[in-house]
Amino acid sequence: MRALLILLVVVGLLAAVGGWLLTEPRRADAAAILAGDGDAANGRLIFIAGGCASCHSMPNQPDGLLLGGGLGIESPFGTFTVPNISPDPRAGIGAWSEEQFVTALTKGVSPANEHYFPAFPYIAYRRAAPADLRDLFAYLKTLPPSANAPPGHDLAFPFSVRRGVGIWKQLHMKDAPPLDPGTGDPLARGRYLVEALGHCAECHSPRDITGGIVASRRYGGGPSPDGKGRMPNITPGQGGISDWSEDDIAFALADGTTPDGDVLGGDMARVVKNTAQLPEDDRRAIAVYLKSLPPVDDAPAAAR
């Protein structure tokens, strides 16, 4: 019995150490951190395509570029509060190095070496080109600082344990190289805008019990992240955008009007505020890529 007890203790310790090592936060790859000054003009385009202002601008104030955070995002796990990413050196990211910024966007790890919760869509942003990340950081430095200090997240246990996010990353965040920005190729450009910067799959796909996207129904629509209503199917499948032309999609992204004369509302209204500022060629590229997706038919009403 004594030998068995010792064995169980040893096995338990080894499991604890293994779990700790397995969930260790990882820093950005050296290849993702480029030397030299970034191009703030291109960084503005990346900022718009990534929808940064939709979440990080301060609620109830007119300046969409005052990125003091504070927006509460409800979810079945609790409420996530969006942080300050303005250039303020204390409340925001003004004191961050480029390595810390790139680590946050590509690894989901904070300067304090803690996991960010995946409500921050780094699983998509990690596919962005290193030059675009550098340019985005350069652009953020040009924006007005905000001293706003948003409260922390309000999450139920055990979801509040950041170290546990390391397990989620092991399941759903396998190594993936940056995508080609696709300049000059509408299909490749559309893929880059949708998959990396626009992170469209994060809302428009159903998730399994572990919180990972169901690959076979990617972009096929699913419950809204806040648990209220559904996000629509945006594939060419039945119930999706099969009847939409590329012109229809590009126009909706510019004007918010659907082919049947309805208006895109809810969270998508905030998205359109961003896509309306993109070059027309980029909206067209998004349309080309969405029409190329494998069709996913809407699930029967009973299953939904």
76 or 205, greater pLDDT: 205
Spatial distance between the Cα atoms of 51 and 191, rounded to a whole number of angstroms: 16
Q: Residue 4: which pLDDT band, with cuts at 50, 70 and 90?
A: low
Q: 124, exposed or middle or buried, with CB in 10 Å at 0-12, 13-18, 19+?
A: buried
- Read off the pLDDT of residues 47-74 as tens digits, 9 standing for 90 and up: 999 999 989 999 888 888 999 999 988 8
Q: What residue ranges in the chain does DSSP mark as E strands?
A: 72-75, 78-81, 154-155, 222-223, 230-231
- Read off the pLDDT of residues 157-168 as tens digits, 9 standing for 90 and up: 888 888 889 998
- Read off the pLDDT of residues 78-92 as tens digits, 9 standing for 90 and up: 899 999 999 999 999
2 or 20, greater pLDDT: 2
Segments making up each domain of the chain, as ranges: 26-178, 188-293
Segment 264-290 mean pLDDT: 92
The answer to whether residue 2 scores a pLDDT higher than 70 is: no
**Rama region for 70: left / alpha / beta (φ>0; ψ in -120 to 50; rest):** left
For residues 74, 168, 34 and 67, what is the CA-based torsion angle, rounded to 10 degrees?
A: 10
Q: What is the mean pLDDT of the chain?
A: 88
Give me the percent of the chain exceeding a pLDDT of 90.
59
22 or 113, greater pLDDT: 113
Q: Residue 117: which pLDDT band, with cuts at 50, 70 and 90?
A: very high
Lowest mean pLDDT among 1-5, 137-141, 224-228, 236-240: 1-5
Q: Kindly report the pTM of this predicted structure.
A: 0.88
pLDDT at position 179 is 95
Segment 90-101 mean pLDDT: 96
Element (H, E) at 89: none
Segment 28-43 mean pLDDT: 90
User: In Å, how far are 72, 93, 119, 140 from 83, measured between CA atoms?
Assistant: 10, 10, 12, 14
H-type helices in 108-232, by residue range? 122-125, 130-140, 165-172, 186-191, 201-204
